[in-house]
A and B are shown apart, each in its own frame.
Chain A
């Protein structure tokens, strides 16, 4: 692929890079370097503009709420239109976590007014929980209000792995396509979808950072950037043994977490049942049983899809 060259714009490296996000950029750079593809990286900070024609891949990382407050006005006023135009002209994009939320129509932070997004994606983000005021009194209270854990997503013919940690739920509008289906974890809002894809622009809650452990997604973005510049791309494969080992470990962790969650739910149901029996006799016991059955029925689809994907340890045969 010698002689090829792509242009990458990395947004707010000094602000939206909370979760090792520049690891995603490093992954693009190395995987291009190993294939002799030259990469020009432009770091865009507050007030910097981008030229829609001169960019093949746009990347924005994750940040907490204060970071979102900092960049949201700049995204809307200075960069938003150019980003949407670049994507419309075929540029690839990767927006993660807080960046994904701001690439939608709006997001509702825990504190302060709603933040307007750039409306690249037909999606919006609201707080999942009702309590919105002030600081959390304790760290565990803050944790309880978020979706934290391993996230496994079916995307095309492969599984993407990552880690999610977000307080907002993202909902997709009628015109939006989810990136993939949640196999394990929470994803957009618990409805089984994760992320969004528009052309070659990807929004996702997958962190970790996600590209090092998902070389297929990294190569998809590189391929899309090359195609935009040169019309077609045929990327030679790379030796991804270490990446695959890390992916396998992540899936094992997701599986363990799913099992732990199941056990915790079972314990909870059992103790509710015992409590009801002790306190109220048969009548309440029957209603607790109904509730228990209801809960287990609700969670069955997730368990089944985990099995179907072949990553569930127990009863793995299809």
Chain B
């Protein structure tokens, strides 16, 4: 190839990038004007259709590289917490919209930030913080060639593709990790045996986080858990303590493998409140007390993952307290004021999620008004068998007169009946209303004056409730918060 034609190619590629980005931007504005969808993936798809190299090119322009967060649960919250710490450290994090965690979603984030020239504005303090869908990890890794760190939160059985065993997800992640540069650090949950020894042959530096608070232990093995076997020899693992599901202090008595000693530790957690948690976190640099605005042990793990990633990035210790200012994102205990009630929207998308959200909200053992939802999605497999793995039994009596909603409401109602919430001669006042909006109105009407209402559900019901809240002016449109200036700029 002559130098002339190479130059031409270069110009062509750059022009193509500019066209791709500006078309993506136009699609973004168009989608918003027309109120089509949430606009978090379509612009990216448009851009990538015109220039498949656009995402890799734009990502390579972030001067401080990117931290990727992947795993089954807690990716988005971990990212938001880490971004807060980065802002307090005078960095400018670029964060993708929650759930927009495949290539198209990432591309949308980057297109929103890029100028019409097809390049990012020069910003030496910019750093990427991206949640990445565990199934899309290989594909995204092909676009981000040099992530500074990859955070693995946990691996649970997926709710929609339950036959895709955790082993399959793990193999998928490990295969992709073969292309990781050796300098990329792995920030790993020591308490999850599926994660702690992921890709054992990789020589990448590893930083572990884990919980070491005897007060937060479950008394007995969690009924909802799906215990993994030894990652090295496939024997049965023994646990000296279980924090939730299969996360805990584990060891294999056959081959001697055991939970690695974490550098970043949660040494004390006060989890009683339904609105917040107080955590004592120990890092190699010292101790910090964090009052996070999210309840439950699963959010404590998210905070711990964020602190571990911050520790790896050598962010100053004093900036950790910025985690306390993390705002709740949509569906993550998102608070909306409606007709004199505080309404909390909480996503519970799988067995462990549902169990932990209920435990977080009912940790003080005070009865609460709730709408519980369950839905499946057109075109996806209609398997909701995981609701039988949710620990509803230990919450019996704490949710008086629940309203059950979603296109699988009757399945959930049967589940609750067999968990002891109903049954012959037992009037729990359980109401079944498949339509989410009508169910929401009924649940509001049932809530005593001034008392909060929790809406705990899979995403479908939450979307419909949220659309109604948006239409009635209780919340702003999603894209204002998610891809608007507030989220992805400093």
Q: What is the size, in residues, of chain A's interface with B at 8 Å between Cβ atoms? A: 40
The proximity string for A residues 224-250 relative to B, scoring 1 for CB distances below 8 Å and 0 otherwise, is 000000000000001100110110110
CB pair B414 A20 closer than 8 Å? no
The residue among B164, B226, B385, B422 with the most chain A CB atoms within 10 A of its own CB is B385
CB pair B413 A135 closer than 8 Å? no
Q: Which segment, of A113-121, A205-213, A273-281, A286-294, faces chain B?
A: A205-213
CB pair B385 A146 closer than 8 Å? no
CB pair B410 A209 closer than 8 Å? no
Identity of the chain A residue whose Cβ is nearest the Cβ of B165 in the assembled complex: A64
CB pair B417 A19 closer than 8 Å? no
In the complex, what's the smallest C-beta–C-beta distance from B194 to chain A, in angstroms?
Answer: 13
In the complex, whether B474 has a CB less than 8 A from a CB of chain A is no
CB pair A135 B171 closer than 8 Å? yes
CB pair B418 A14 closer than 8 Å? no
Chain B residues near A26 (CB, 8 Å)?
Answer: 388, 418-419
For chain B, give the interface size range. 35 or more
A96 and B151 alpha carbons, distance in the complex (Å): 37
CB pair B415 A23 closer than 8 Å? yes
A70 and B432 alpha carbons, distance in the complex (Å): 41
In the complex, whether A149 has a CB less than 8 A from a CB of chain B is yes
Chain A residues near B164 (CB, 8 Å)?
Answer: 139, 142
Identity of the chain B residue whose Cβ is nearest the Cβ of A212 in the assembled complex: B414
Chain B residues near A248 (CB, 8 Å)?
Answer: 410
CB pair B163 A64 closer than 8 Å? yes
The residue among B171, B381, B382, B415 with the most chain A CB atoms within 10 A of its own CB is B382
Q: Which of A127-160 contact B (CB under 8 A)?
A: 135, 139, 142-143, 146, 148-150
In the complex, whether A265 has a CB less than 8 A from a CB of chain B is no
Return the contact of A23 from the options B162, B383, B388 (Cβ within 8 A). Answer: B388
CB pair A249 B227 closer than 8 Å? no
CB pair B168 A135 closer than 8 Å? yes
A20 and B226 alpha carbons, distance in the complex (Å): 11
Identity of the chain B residue whose Cβ is nearest the Cβ of A20 in the assembled complex: B388
Q: Which of B366-413 contact A (CB under 8 A)?
A: 381-383, 385-389, 408, 410-411, 413
In the complex, what's the smallest C-beta–C-beta distance from A11 to chain B, in angstroms?
Answer: 16
CB pair B163 A163 closer than 8 Å? no
Known: A26-B418, A242-B410. A66 touches B385 (CB 8 A): no
CB pair A34 B382 closer than 8 Å? no
Chain A residues near B363 (CB, 8 Å)?
Answer: none
In the complex, what's the smallest C-beta–C-beta distance from B252 to chain A, in angstroms?
Answer: 15
A149 and B163 alpha carbons, distance in the complex (Å): 13
The proximity string for B residues 46-77 relative to A, scoring 1 for CB distances below 8 Å and 0 otherwise, is 00000000000000000000000000000000
A262 and B413 alpha carbons, distance in the complex (Å): 31
CB pair A30 B227 closer than 8 Å? no
CB pair A30 B414 closer than 8 Å? no
The residue among A19, A34, A149 with the most chain B CB atoms within 10 A of its own CB is A19
Return the contact of A146 from the options B163, B226, B423, B424 (Cβ within 8 A). Answer: B163
CB pair A249 B408 closer than 8 Å? yes
Identity of the chain B residue whose Cβ is nearest the Cβ of A67 in the assembled complex: B165
CB pair A243 B167 closer than 8 Å? no
Known: A22-B388, A23-B388. A246 touches B414 (CB 8 A): yes
Chain B residues near A271 (CB, 8 Å)?
Answer: none
Chain B residues near A209 (CB, 8 Å)?
Answer: 385, 388
Identity of the chain B residue whose Cβ is nearest the Cβ of A148 in the assembled complex: B381
Chain A residues near B408 (CB, 8 Å)?
Answer: 249
Chain B residues near A213 (CB, 8 Å)?
Answer: 411, 414
In the complex, what's the smallest C-beta–C-beta distance from A36 to chain B, in angstroms?
Answer: 11
In the complex, what's the smallest C-beta–C-beta distance from A163 to chain B, in angstroms?
Answer: 6
Chain B residues near A242 (CB, 8 Å)?
Answer: 410, 413-414, 417, 422, 432
In the complex, what's the smallest C-beta–C-beta distance from B298 to chain A, in angstroms?
Answer: 21
Known: A18-B226, A66-B165. A163 touches B388 (CB 8 A): no
For the complex of A and B, the 4 pairs showing the least CB-CB separation, nearest first, are A20-B388, A23-B388, A20-B385, A246-B410
19 contacts between A and B (CB under 8 A): A18-B163, A21-B385, A21-B388, A23-B418, A26-B418, A30-B418, A65-B165, A66-B165, A135-B168, A135-B171, A163-B385, A165-B162, A209-B385, A242-B413, A242-B432, A245-B413, A246-B410, A246-B413, A249-B411
Measured CB to CB, the residues of A under 8 A from B are: 14, 18-23, 26-27, 30, 34, 46, 64-66, 70, 135, 139, 142-143, 146, 148-150, 163, 165, 207-209, 212-213, 238-239, 242-243, 245-246, 248-249, 253
